[in-house]
Chain A
Amino acid sequence: MSLFLIVALPFIGALVPGLMIQAGRRACALATLSVTALAFIGLMTHVPAVLRGEVVQARVEWLPALGLDANFFLDGLGLLFAGLILGIGLLIIIYARYYLSREDPMGQFYAYLLLFQGAMVGIVLSDNILLLLVFWELTSLSSFLLIGYWKHLPEGRQGARMALAVTGGGGLAMIAGMLILGEIAGSYDLTVILQNREAIQSSELYMPALILILLGAFTKSAQFPFHFWLPHAMAAPTPVSAYLHSATMVKAGLFLMARMWPVLAGTDAWFYIVATTGLVTMVIAAVIALFKDDLKALLAFSTVSHLGLITMLLGLGTGMGAVAAVFHIINHATFKAALFMTAGIIDHETHTRDIKRLGGLRKLMPATFVIATITALSMAGIPLLNGFLSKEMMLYEASHTPWAGSYWVVPVLATVGALFSAAYSFRYIWHVFFGPVRKDYPSKPHDPGFGMLASPAFLSVLVVLIGIMPSLAEPLVRLTAAAVIGGELPEFHLQLWHGVNAALVMSIIAVVGGVILLALHRPLDRAWIAAPRPEAKIIFDAVVEGAASGSRWLTDRLHDGALTRYAAIFTVTVLALAVHAYLTGGISRPTRAMMPPGVVPTIGWAMLLIAAGCLVAFHRRRLVALVLMAIVGLVVSVGFVYLSAPDLALTQISVEVVTIILLLLALNFLPKTTPSESSVARRVRDGGIAVVAGLGAGALIYALLVRDFAFPTISEYHLANSYKGGGGTNVVNVILVDFRGFDTFGEIIVLGIAALVIYALTEALLSSPVRARLLAWTDESPDAGDAHPMMMVVVTRVMLPVVLMVGVYILLRGHNDPGGGFIAGLIVAIAVVMQYMASGFAWAEARQRYPYHGAIGAGVLIAGLTGIGAWFAGEPFLTSAYGYIHLPPIEEFEWATAMGFDLGVFLTVVGAVLLSLQSFSRIARRSGDRVSAHPMDIDPSREEC
């Protein structure tokens, strides 16, 4: 079977349980089992090839630009781990079938389990270290789901998050490590990397790569000081603990260290980091394990301790160390998975995992007792069981390993670790199964059915078999160890009796010491409980909570919603970077001489200054502010006239009129003054920023004005081609509707959208609680008794046709003389606005037959369709055409398609302005504005003043 398929099967299979659960729990479990079995069989088909020493490969390109390819390979090490993952996976699936209760969603469980299985198989078969990273993080994610499987348990959720944060975080460090490693080796393919030992170890990047990769491995394999997540992951259902947290996931870190052993191991750095971490982990976790009352916590810490043991063996960097590590990986997987299952059985049957509430189960659960005893004794390192063999090898290696010149540190610590290991193993047997039968079990215990016992029983048979006949396991150990070492295997034989040597002595000390410790457990336990010690979960929670609240504080402080502060930051940033840009460039001398200031410009300049200054002083009085703004606008318009830009002046002045009117209407619903909300210091600061920014803008404009263009401008072309190509003598208009008609098309759309938005906003306001406030709102200022003054009504009505005529005139002449659709639209809009103002909203509204939305839509459509018209002549969008028509008795006149476009502009402008006005009027009318039934009405109720 292709390696791809072996990896993919669990992933694809993850869909199966979710569907099969419909057919019942048995079908669901069977389906899951067959998926894993299929993958297992597929793996087994490669065994002969691997035994022959071949390396099975499967490669396909995925992301060659990065060097990330879906390359898999299978050698001895991969085979051992894949076999463990799938083989123990089979046992776990069977066990879980009986473990899960009816309330637990089994489909989900198996789906997650298969996802995890696929990710694990992916890790151990990856030939590409980036691909390995993908699977690596996938195991973190799938274990997150598995640990949090019981959503209702807070421990489950917290444990899941902690495991994800620690192992996922380690994975992130590993990303960097792998990228560095790939850079040194020139490839991300393991098969290539493994050939490059010298290059890697001599590189100056070796240390960072090593540390980053080890961070990943240590977090995953729960090495001190990252060990704390594993006990909390025990909130998961026991099958998960047995699978992930004893047999597979936590071994991923070991796998990685073994995989990288040929290139990373053998240096001092490797020895001191890895072996020391392993040793410390082994001892500390073993000590803690002895004092855990929760069965699973005890097993969890014992797992950490044994992982430390294996890490230490790998860290030694010797061939025999690697052999011992491989052998202990196999042994630990067998006895620890079985032990977890027995813990699950006890929990399942007695409804408690607290050792202090247990005892005497020997008689009540004999089968469980036998299995638990065999496996626990193996863990303790008792002869004739497999744990003894590998522990003996470990002690032997430890006995002659110097640490920083000292020959006693490693052996003593190793013995202490083994001693505590024996002690907690004995405790697991003694305190749970021996002693008197109690009366107060939460549930009456008895042995479970065959289904639940089958898996651990099978494993305990393996424990005994390997323990008695180690030669059975030897081919597998040799095969794997050869793959780990990647070269010549040291001379060794797995056998029960090595004669009396240092290891045996240390072993005896450990076992005897273990018994003594167990005997002294009660006083020691009291001392332990009384002693102060750091609680990892509390620290971790505090760190995360601190980070979260710190983040919240920082985020809320930064984003406090104060627009003035945002604007101040904006202005300062822009100023600083603009000044930087200016100072780092070169500037030539001005090329234009200063002109003497004339009288008119000086007056205009003074008015601008005065108006702006007054605006600063009086900006809290909104009406005054509006008037002052109008003055600024007028001066600008005059400026355009003075500078011979009549089109701009016309546009500017009509825009001014319309904006001021609309703003006046809006002011009607707002308070008359702006409250002072910021402190004096803040105002001084903001004022300073504003002044500097204004000076900066002024300086920039000055610098631009005193210099000529560095290159000839495109406007020469516009002047030259306006009449010839655009058919108009008013260059401004030709630019607007022709040269840059597309800009105008966009701008009228902006205007149209703005009106639609105002309309939508009004609708939203009027259908919200604001409506009630508007209805309740009364204007406190005294009414002008004459709401619709007769003079104004008469004048506006008389003027309406005249203004409309002017509008049309301006529209039509625009192409050759100052004018055009935009200005015409504004003029017409003003004429209508004046009707609203003079005669009242209701009066004008009643005479308004065409919806303004339509005018906007029609305007944009007409402009667009005019543009599209060019397509039929084979020209691009908005290409204009013009010609002359002679219709007697009228004089010959010019037509241009640009007129159609201008008409569109005109309609959009009219529609947009009037729709905005209408929206305001709707607010006004809802707010209790009196609708005058007659024109020119005089309010009889007004008080004479």
Chain B
Amino acid sequence: MSHWVVMPIVVPALLAALMVLTMRHHPALQRTFSVGGIIAVLFIAIGLNVSAGTGAIHVYELGDWPAPFGIVLVVDRLSALMVLLTTLLALAVALYVIGTGWDRRGRHFHALLQFQIMGIIGAFLTGDAFNLFVFFEVLLIASYGLIIHSGGTARLRAGVQYVVYNLLGSTLFLFALGTLYAVTGTLNMADLAERIAALPAEETALVRVGATLLLLVFAVKAAILPLHFWLPGSYANAPAPVAALFAIMTKVGAYAIIRIYSLVFPPSLVATQGLFDIWLMPAALLTLTVGMIGVLGSVRLERLVAFAVVGSMGTLLVAVATLTEQATAAALYYIVHSTFASAALFLILDLTVERRPEGGRIAVAPPIAQNGLIAGLFFAAAIALAGMPPLSGFLGKLLVLDAARAAERTWLIWTVILATSLLAIVGFARAGSTLYWKSAAVMPAAGAAVADPPPAVRPAALPFVSVGGIMTLLVAATVFAGPLTDYFAAIAAQIYTPANYIEAVLGARAS
């Protein structure tokens, strides 16, 4: 059995431990090991994708205990893709924080970053419901540490809200797992799938409660209305590069919904009929609407982008909630797009905010250094996130719209998606023209100009390399949309034949 499967979890965990043990006082070493570790995991992730791309499902039995009695990690096309996405994003963020010195503004940044990566990847790889809970805890506590990195009143306050709200979610997770275990007597996802499919109709009530509670846990993570309240404040107040990394965290929720609700609780079962379809789509549309209204109604850039993330999750969840193979393929494309677009926007936001004495307030201020370049990047990233052509956001939106034909009330879905796009366009245009155009027209006050001449120091190139890298990925996702969507269709096909997954996990010993 190949140990590569567990490597993306073990490598960051041990690296982080090593950093805490030996490199506490050596920031340069921490940086080197952090980036080195991510690159190593990136290569492993590429390998996993190549291997899973053939359609093979790899099962790794931890402790050599057979499923369902021990914990298994499962690599299929979907989880391999999510791992790759995580590492790509983490690399960009790591380079960015190193380039801007964000990592030196507080303690243990790189250790927490590695733990965070470990938690996210673990959540993508595990095939055990309780183990998923453990990784949710890992990524929650690590992300809390990252949110309050470098401190500050607003940040600490937002951090408290974040952690308390998510602990509510964790409590709910335990209720859900307890309920499911008490009925089915198992925690392995494949085993759960088999048992729930075999559940007689008169025993379904409690499993339905468990399934609903579990979906609500994931809804919290994915920031679906009305369980999204933790997101705007904490993302807006977190260090922007951290918020960029968190672009993948909401996707953990989306991933979990796709995974569990295709494998364990497909809506076709007796036990799950009419359970989610009635409210998931309205909730997704509401998420989209409130998110984009927030884009238009934000007076701070950080908040604007945070709401754009909520809105983008709304679009994604429309695709997820459509619950067809085509829609899931669309959702996967949108996941890739939304992850990189949100991250890029947060990094560009940081470039802007750090250069402005006013911070993120959308108001006129003296022009910032490299106004033109940053404005251009903002323009491109805003186009991507608002779903305008030519970038991946537009293609993603078209895919979602196209897939929504299979849903009920297509006209409503289309109207909401298109109308909220207009809100986003107007919101971004207002913010961008104030920040980069109106401000460029302002001459610095006469006294100020004399007092501090423009710094002669050449600004660091690394942050721009990082942002440029993400933008390149977005462009690549656009240009190679054809092969990508073909592959995502293959992923969706694999997801929608859960029998193979179950066979791989439970039949591993038999063969």
Contacts and interface: CB of A to CB of B under 8 A. Distances in A.
Given A130-B398, A151-B441, A854-B21, A581 B212 contact: yes
A172 interface: yes
Contacts of B168: 567, 570
Contacts of B212: 577-578, 580-581
A277 B144 CA distance: 57
B24 A853 contact: yes
B274 A584 contact: yes
Interface in B349-394: 372, 379, 383, 388-390, 394
Contacts of A877: 3, 6, 10, 60, 62-63
A760 B145 contact: yes
Nearest to A586: B202
Contacts of B172: 574
A140 B191 CA distance: 53
Most buried by B among A561, A573, A768: A573
B10 A585 contact: no
Interface residues of A, number: 130
Most buried by A among B22, B429, B438: B429
A876 interface: yes
Using C-beta atoms within 8 Å of the partner chain, give the interface range for chain B.
Answer: 35 or more
A587 interface: yes
B185 A711 contact: yes
B40 interface: no
A864 B202 contact: no
B226 A569 contact: yes
Given A550-B297, A709-B184, A703 B137 contact: no
Given A710-B199, A713-B186, A854-B21, A860 B441 contact: no
A183 to B, nearest CB: 7
Contacts of A752: 17, 20
B6 A876 contact: yes
B51 interface: no
Interface stretch (B335-343, B458-466, B482-490): B482-490
A646 interface: no
Contacts of A577: 212, 216, 279
A582 B209 contact: yes
Nearest to B7: A877
Interface in B192-233: 195, 198-199, 201-209, 211-213, 216, 220, 226-227, 229-230, 232-233
A548 interface: yes
B499 interface: no
A134 B227 contact: no
B185 A710 contact: yes
Contacts of B153: 768
Contacts of B329: 65
B407 interface: no
A61 B271 CA distance: 43
Most buried by A among B390, B414, B425: B425
A857 B481 contact: no
B69 interface: yes
Interface string A690-712: 00000001001001100101111
B398 A175 contact: yes
A585 B273 CA distance: 9
Given A580-B212, A739-B65, A858-B21, A148 B202 contact: no
B205 A548 contact: no
Contacts, number: 387
B206 A704 contact: yes
A570 B137 CA distance: 19
B41 interface: no
Interface stretch (B42-50, B127-135, B256-264): B127-135
A625 B389 CA distance: 58
B218 to A, nearest CB: 13
A267 interface: no
Contacts of B401: 175-176, 179
B500 interface: no
Most buried by A among B70, B157, B293: B70
Interface stretch (A87-95, A162-170, A517-525, A796-804): A162-170
Contact of B205 (A556, A587, A753): A587
A346 B389 CA distance: 37
Given A582-B208, A585-B204, A760 B418 contact: no
Contact of A710 (B138, B183, B399): B183
Contact of B141 (A61, A173, A555, A757): A757
A746 B64 contact: no
A585 B126 CA distance: 29
A553 interface: yes
Nearest to A705: B182
B421 interface: yes
Interface stretch (B78-86, B93-101, B108-116, B245-253): B108-116
A756 interface: yes
Most buried by A among B131, B181, B296, B440: B296
Interface in A133-180: 133-138, 140-141, 144-145, 148, 151-154, 157, 160-161, 164-165, 168-169, 172-173, 175-176, 179
A477 to B, nearest CB: 32
Contacts of B486: 64-65
B345 interface: no
B429 A861 contact: no
Contacts of A63: 395, 481-482, 485
Interface stretch (A415-423, A506-514, A631-639, A867-875): A867-875
A152 B441 contact: yes
A875 B485 contact: no
Interface string A433-465: 000000000000000000000000000000000
A627 interface: no
A165 B426 contact: yes
B151 A725 contact: no
B71 A740 contact: yes
B148 A553 contact: no
B64 A160 contact: no
B438 A157 contact: yes
A352 to B, nearest CB: 22
B203 A588 contact: yes
B185 A714 contact: yes
A559 B232 contact: yes
B90 interface: no
B179 A857 contact: no
B61 interface: yes
Contacts of A760: 106-108, 112, 145, 148-149
A628 B328 CA distance: 50
Contacts of B266: none
A753 B206 contact: no
Contacts of A856: 17, 20-21
A757 B145 contact: yes
Interface in B140-154: 141-142, 144-145, 148-153
A763 B107 contact: yes
Contacts of A700: 175, 179, 206, 209
B320 interface: no
A764 interface: yes
Contacts of A858: 17, 21
B287 to A, nearest CB: 12
Interface in B9-33: 10, 13-14, 16-22, 24
B277 to A, nearest CB: 12
24 contacts: A66-B485, A68-B398, A160-B433, A161-B429, A165-B426, A175-B401, A179-B414, A559-B233, A578-B212, A581-B211, A582-B206, A586-B205, A700-B179, A704-B178, A709-B184, A711-B186, A759-B108, A763-B106, A764-B150, A768-B152, A857-B18, A864-B17, A876-B3, A878-B63
What 5 pairs across the A-B complex have the smallest Cβ distances? Answer: A764-B151, A857-B21, A551-B297, A713-B185, A585-B205
Given A753-B112, A757-B145, 16 more contacts: A165-B425, A577-B279, A581-B211, A582-B205, A588-B202, A707-B183, A710-B185, A714-B69, A717-B69, A718-B69, A743-B130, A746-B135, A753-B141, A768-B152, A876-B6, A876-B63
